[in-house]
Homo-oligomer: A and B are copies of this chain.
């Protein structure tokens, strides 16, 4: 386990060094948007790493929209100037794994918005899905069982109803981190679960009657405990 983590760290460091070298190359050769990068084979030879390593680094930069690979042709600098590329790559190299506090902070921000948008835009289908999650959650809690998953699904249903695919994606991205950390730190309290039923119900009602202000208010109340926890860590 320890060895495994260590190896992944090493791989990450290697990848970062390759990304830095690609950045240097772009600067040194004054590559403009649309210009072609040297081939993967040349880069692997030049940097003294395998082609796989090069490919992974390129794919990461492609994810952030900095490079663009075209099959049987080459890898090209995206339609972003050299200044922005340097700034973005610097950020990419610096970014560490998110801490729990930053996850929670972001979740609260996102959900206070998605719940507002959901109240404005929800369809009847969205409403049904939320109701289903809510009922499942209520049932589990009343049975005295753990209901973290059903809780989560209710919140994801709200994100879907917001009609904003970007926020929906972001909610999906932070969800696993939230879950595992919650279980790790034992944030959840069983007494809170029954209280949670009423809070969820209130949020659902506000969305149903399409009252964005009330929906946001109720979500805020729902997060109050989490909020305090986040800032008292």
Asked if A202 lies at the interface with its beta carbon under 8 angstroms from chain B, I say no
**A168 and B91 contacting across the interface, CB-CB below 8 Å:** yes
**B80 and A156 contacting across the interface, CB-CB below 8 Å:** no
Asked if A48 lies at the interface with its beta carbon under 8 angstroms from chain B, I say no
Measured between beta carbons, the chain B residues less than 8 angstroms from A180 are 65, 78-79
| Copies, count | 2
Among B152, B164, B166, point to the contact of A84 (Cβ < 8 A). B152
> Complex formed: what's the CA distance from A97 to B65 in Å?
14
> Complex formed: what's the CA distance from A92 to B83 in Å?
34
Contact A168 B84, CB 8 Å, known A70-B4, A176-B78: no
Among B78, B106, B149, B166, point to the contact of A105 (Cβ < 8 A). B166
Interface range on chain A: under 10, 10 to 19, 20 to 34, or 35 or more?
Answer: 35 or more
The smallest beta-carbon distance between A149 and chain B, in angstroms, is 4
Among B83, B110, B179, point to the contact of A153 (Cβ < 8 A). B83
**A176 and B106 contacting across the interface, CB-CB below 8 Å:** no
> Complex formed: what's the CA distance from A92 to B168 in Å?
10
Among B65, B103, B165, point to the contact of A176 (Cβ < 8 A). B65
Of listed A4, A92, A94, A105, residue having the most chain B CB within 10 A: A105
